[in-house]
Amino acid sequence: MLWIISENRAECSTMNHYKPGFFLKEGFNNGMLQHVPSLARLTFKFCKSHGSSRFMREYIESEIMDLARQCPTAVIYLKPRRHRDPVVVAEYINGHKEELRCNPFSKQELIRWINLMTTTSGRPSNQKLLKYSATSSISIQGPWNPWVYKPTEENLEELPSERLSAAKATYPTATERVLDMVKTSQPR
């Protein structure tokens, strides 16, 4: 199966800091007008007689119809071949392909892994996510200048004005607070 070999195999490293980083990107603003599921096709490769494919066979016997009903937008292939380990191959519409060898998986584990494959967006696993959010535009508010959000009533003020040149108090002064306490306190 030579066609499985990916071109950027050298990038597949176990060490996280050697992985190429990327920002989140959703194709054609997916989900804005309509959501398109990312999974394109799912291939189950298994052996009809070997013991390693036992749980895969059980899964195919009992669960595969439910899976087909669950994701009607993905093509599901079954590929029996002799005396090889069971493998699930998921292909996504962005061209990413994920292979999973499922020899040690029980049926329940298989259900969970396949649920992950059907619901994920098809992000290459050999890349690390740099941020959980990303924006495509450089700036939303535009470049800042000294008059951004300046109150327009200041245009009509005659300079020099006492109101504008007075110190701005962000919280009440001690004198004001004491006066306030005197006012609010009840006479004995």
Partner 1 sequence: MLTRKCLEASLALGVRGYKRSLFPTLTVLKKRQDKVGVHIPQRSAVVEWDFDREVNIFCKRFSVQPGPSIRDAFRSQAFVENENEQRVKIGLEPLALSSNKQLAESGLERLREVLTTQISEIYPKLPQQGVEAVRNFLCSPESLTDVASQMGFAPLVIRPGDGEAVEPELMREAFLAVFGSIENQGDFCRRYVLIQLAGKDIMDIWHPIDVSQLLNSILKKRNQPPYEPRLIGDAGRNTLESVFYVAIYSDRKFLGKGAHETQAAAVDVAVRDALKRVFGITRAERSPFEIMALKSIYERNAGLTTS
The contact set with partner 1 (CB under 8 A) reads 2-3, 5, 27-29, 32-34, 36-37, 40-41, 43, 72-75, 77, 79, 91-95, 136-137, 140, 142-143, 145-147
Residue 23 in contact with residue 134, Cβ under 8 Å? yes
Cβ of residue 160: shortest distance to partner 1, in angstroms?
18
Amino acid at site 103: N
Q: Which is nearer to partner 1, 9 or 188 (CB)?
A: 9
Q: Which is nearer to partner 1, 34 or 185 (CB)?
A: 34
Q: Reduced to 3 states, what is the DSSP secondary structure of residue 22?
A: strand
Q: Reduced to 3 states, what is the DSSP secondary structure of residue 45?
A: strand
Cβ of residue 43: shortest distance to partner 1, in angstroms?
5
* Closest among 156, 174, 154 to 164, alpha carbons compared: 154
* Dist. CA 86–CA 19, nearest whole Å: 28
Cβ of residue 187: shortest distance to partner 1, in angstroms?
50
Cβ of residue 25: shortest distance to partner 1, in angstroms?
10
Q: Which is nearer to partner 1, 32 or 169 (CB)?
A: 32
- Phi/psi of residue 92, nearest 5 degrees: -110, 160
